[in-house]
Amino acid sequence: MIHFEDKTINFHQLFSLNKSCKFCPECDLIIGQKAEIDDSLKQIVASPPFNLQINPNDYFVFGTLEKKDWLKIQKEKNTQKSTLDLVHPFIDTLDFEIQPAGWYPAGS
């Protein structure tokens, strides 16, 4: 579940991407790639009913939905409040950067 906001046009919206991500049960981590989320969000914002030609980079991902709850939200026209009641908020978020394989000086 994503909260997106563009203050220049006074627009804010909750989005559910219906996107599956990798899950590591050992670390209890859901792993999503920012570039993939950026692309999905960009497509949604540019499509009806929004039709906005904006760069959606002012967002935060704050939780996840179970598939059954996502389907329920699609069928019923839930309010944002009732949708939020179904969200499992993340305990924490971590940023990882990929370091290309190779030899590096000690300490770097």
In the chain, the N- to C-terminal Cα span, in Å, equals 36
Q: Return the number of the residue (47 or 93) whose C-beta is nearest Zn ion.
A: 93
CB of 70 to Zn ion, least distance (A): 25
Among 10, 20, 26, 68, binds Zn ion (CB under 5 A): 26
Long-range contacts: 16-23, Cβ < 8 Å, 24+?
16/65, 16/70, 16/73, 16/83, 17/41, 17/44, 18/70
CB of 28 to Zn ion, least distance (A): 8
Calculate the alpha carbon distances from 103 to 30, 72, 75, 100 in Å. Answer: 29, 50, 53, 9
User: Are 87 and 1 in contact, with CB atoms under 8 Å apart?
Assistant: yes
Binding segment for Zn ion (CB under 5 A), chosen from 1-9, 11-19, 20-28, 45-53, is 20-28
Residue 27 binding Zn ion, by CB under 5 A: yes
Among 9, 24, 35, 106, binds Zn ion (CB under 5 A): 24
CB of 22 to Zn ion, least distance (A): 9
Residue 28 binding Zn ion, by CB under 5 A: no
Which stretches of the chain bind Zn ion, using CB under 5 A?
Answer: 24, 26-27
